[in-house]
């Protein structure tokens, strides 16, 4: 059973989300919280497979909860926002959110986004039989789904890992923006270029000795990204 926590200070919104999952995904169990404080308490008491958080609920808001959780957890997070400004969306992604949905939203869109996030959080199917990929001080072990930099384990979210693996397993090839978005996020995300930019920046901050001068994830301006061919496995 998939356990989901929905936190929003608007009872009508929570009720709609709960009904949508109940009738369309009966195997998903949904718990409710109506403030950031209540959500944090519930997170301390039990584990969840997915969080759906309103960014503007009473303190701590969805942004702050995301920031706190990313210090200790990779649980998938979808942010709900009434703001259509890209700056707010980018802020959520930079804090570690996996996706966002702008209010008002259709229940079909939210369920589709939840399904996509949960798929990305599951085991990387088809990668466990592949050998290690090594480039300079970076080592990717698809079997263990681990990444190490200078021997130290790097904590990556499932989406970060999928993006890195997609690039590294196609080393030497230029992966276009649309190809990466389709393979990592899904076919419905082919125009969400800011997702890709934010996650590449997050990966570089975690993996590169100098993120301003990357050695592992290289930009091909106007086209996409590439992982150097001289990687070995």
pLDDT, mean of residues 186-198: 88
Instruction: Give the separation between CA 55 and CA 66, rounded to whole angstroms.
Output: 9
Does 110 share its domain with 153? no
pLDDT, mean of residues 210-225: 95
Instruction: List strands edge to edge, sheet with 218-220.
Output: 175-176, 224-226, 218-220
Does 24 share its domain with 87? yes
pLDDT at 71: 87
For the segment 146-165, what is each residue's pLDDT rounded down to a tens digit?
A: 899 999 999 988 889 999 99
CATH of the domain at 197: 1.10.10.10
Report in angstroms the alpha-carbon separations of 177 from 101, 158, 193, 196: 21, 19, 7, 7
For the segment 7-21, what is each residue's pLDDT rounded down to a tens digit?
A: 999 999 999 999 999
Strands (E), 55-105: 77-81, 99-102
Instruction: Give the separation between CA 142 and CA 94, rounded to whole angstroms.
Output: 25
Instruction: Give the separation between CA 157 and CA 90, rounded to whole angstroms.
Output: 17
> pTM to 2 decimals?
0.84
Q: What domain range includes position 20?
A: 2-121
Residues 6+ apart with CB under 8 A from 175: 166, 167, 224, 225, 226
Does 145 share its domain with 55? no
Does 101 share its domain with 164? no
Report in angstroms the alpha-carbon separations of 178 from 153, 191, 195: 30, 7, 11
């Amino acid at each position: 059973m998939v356990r989901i926590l929905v936190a929003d200070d608007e009872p009508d919104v929570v009720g709609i989300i709960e009904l949508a999952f109940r009738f369309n995904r009966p195997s998903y169990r949904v718990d409710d919280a109506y403030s950031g404080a209540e959500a944090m308490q519930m997170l301390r008491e039990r584990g969840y497979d997915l969080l759906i958080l309103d960014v503007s609920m009473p303190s701590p808001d969805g942004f702050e909860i995301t920031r706190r959780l990313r210090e200790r957890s990779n649980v998938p997070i979808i942010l709900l926002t009434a703001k259509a400004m890209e700056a707010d969306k980018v802020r959520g992604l930079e804090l570690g959110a996996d996706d966002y949905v702008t209010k008002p939203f259709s229940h079909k869109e939210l369920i589709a986004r939840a399904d996509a996030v949960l798929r990305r959080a599951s085991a990387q199917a088809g990668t466990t039989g592949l050998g290690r990929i090594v480039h300079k001080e970076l080592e990717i072990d698809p079997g263990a789904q681990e990444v190490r930099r200078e021997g130290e384990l790097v904590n990556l979210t499932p989406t970060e890992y999928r993006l890195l693996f997609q690039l590294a397993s196609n080393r030497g090839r230029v992966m276009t923006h649309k190809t990466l978005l389709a393979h990592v996020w899904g076919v419905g995300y082919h125009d969400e270029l800011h997702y890709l930019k934010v996650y590449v920046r997050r990966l570089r901050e975690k993996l590169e000795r100098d993120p301003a001068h990357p050695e592992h994830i290289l930009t091909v301006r106007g086209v996409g990204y590439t992982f150097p061919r001289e990687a070995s496995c």
